[in-house]
Structure 1
Amino acid sequence: MIEWFDDLKVGMRFKSESKTVSKEEILRFASEFDPQPFHLDDEAAKHTVLGGLAASGWHTAAIAMRLALSTKPFGPHPLFGAGVDGLRWMVPVRPGDTLHLEGEVTELIPSKSKPIGVARVKWTTFNQNGEAVYTFNPIGIVPRRPA
């Protein structure tokens, strides 16, 4: 059971539940946060490099964040971060795609002056075909076990 930074080990893996993305969700998110034609209009999207309606990358990122929360990689602690490296969108997310998230602890750095540590987890979001659609590597801040 993970409760503190000290319980994490390099190589630990996490896997989330699945989430199916609906066309309505794609349109709702895009209309508010990324109102570009390839996120809002089937016909306009066909004539872009995406070749059809696709979720905003930021929508995909928000879904990945929600899936990361569900895995509880830092136990009961929130997912505080100091930034993100390696953020990439590889494959468009389409209406009806079912996504899940997998993560692996790649680095653990205990603070020398504060009761925290930095945990690096490489997260990858996959669709129902096993294709990686999105990856990111946050700089997680996790409390250490009290002395």
Structure 2
Amino acid sequence: MRYYEDLEVGAVARFGQRHVTREEVVEFAGKYDPQPFHLSDEAAAATHFGRLSASGWHTCAMTMAMIVEEQDRAGHQGLGSPGIDELRWRHPVYPGDTLRVETTILSKRRSQSRPEMGLFRAETRVLNQDDVIVLTMVSNAMVSTRDPNGTD
């Protein structure tokens, strides 16, 4: 199990592997982001994308799936997130890409009002198979403390 006390500022984690298929790009876009360049090869070819591309929100969803898989694998005692401070889609994600995640813990602190909880900020980078960064975000997360009466 991994608790607040186990988190180290500056620690880098690398994990995940998500292959992007044309079918899921079109399915996600059809439900949640029905812009033509996410739905049609012909429409996408006429844009700066040049070909069918995944919605940025789909990229976020795939990233979240990889993060949760890693948390489950590592026994991370996550309690959710109060939000994201920065989110950037840096490069299109295309069918056939394979994505992975890198995170760096930027800071951490104990909650003043809830001693059973700690908070941390992390920078997340999502890269494709060519090591091109496709998404970056700085997120805030809540995590259980092992010892609510502990100090940093």
TM-score range, shorter chain: over 0.9
Q: Indicate the residue corresponding to 2:33 in structure 1.
A: 34
The separation in 2 between residues aligned to 1:134 and 1:76, in whole angstroms, is: 23
Give the CA deviation at 1:141.
0.7
Q: Equivalent residue of 2:82, what SS?
A: strand
Equivalent position amino acid for 1:135 in 2:
T
Query: TM-score normalised to the size of structure 1?
Result: 0.93
What SS does the aligned partner of 2:26 have?
helix
Q: Deviations over 1:31-69 (max 9, x none)?
A: 111111000000101111222110000000000001111
Counterpart of 1:65 in structure 2 is 64
Please name the residue that 2:82 is paired with.
82
In structure 2, how many angstroms separate the alpha carbons of the residues matched to 1:79 and 1:69?
Answer: 12
Instruction: Tell me the C-alpha RMSD between the 2 structures.
Output: 1.6
Structure 2: tracts of 5 or more residues without a match: none
Corresponding residue for residue 129 of structure 1: 130
TM-superposed deviation, 1:113: 2.6
Q: Determine if contact 1:69/1:79 at 8 Å carries over to the other structure.
A: no
User: 1:102 maps to which residue?
Assistant: 102
Alpha carbons of 1:90 and 1:79: their partners in 2 closer, same or farther (altered >3 Å)? farther
For the residues of structure 2 that align with 1:111 and 1:17, how far apart are their CA atoms? 29
Partner SS, residue 27 of structure 1: helix
Shift of 1:79: 5.2
Alpha-carbon separation, structure 2, partners of 1:136 and 1:43: 31
Alignment TM-score, normalising by the size of structure 2: 0.90
CA change 1:58–1:96 in 2 (3 A) is: same
Query: Partner of 1:80: helix, strand, or coil?
Result: coil
Mapped contact 2:26–2:38 kept (Cα < 8 A): yes
Determine helix, strand or coil for the equivalent of 1:81. coil
CA–CA separation in structure 1 for the residues paired with 2:97 and 2:26: 14
Question: Match of 1:3?
Answer: 2
User: Partner residue of 1:92?
Assistant: 92
Partner residue in 1 for 2:22:
23
Show structure 1 runs of 5+ residues with no match: none
AA in 2 matched with 1:111: S
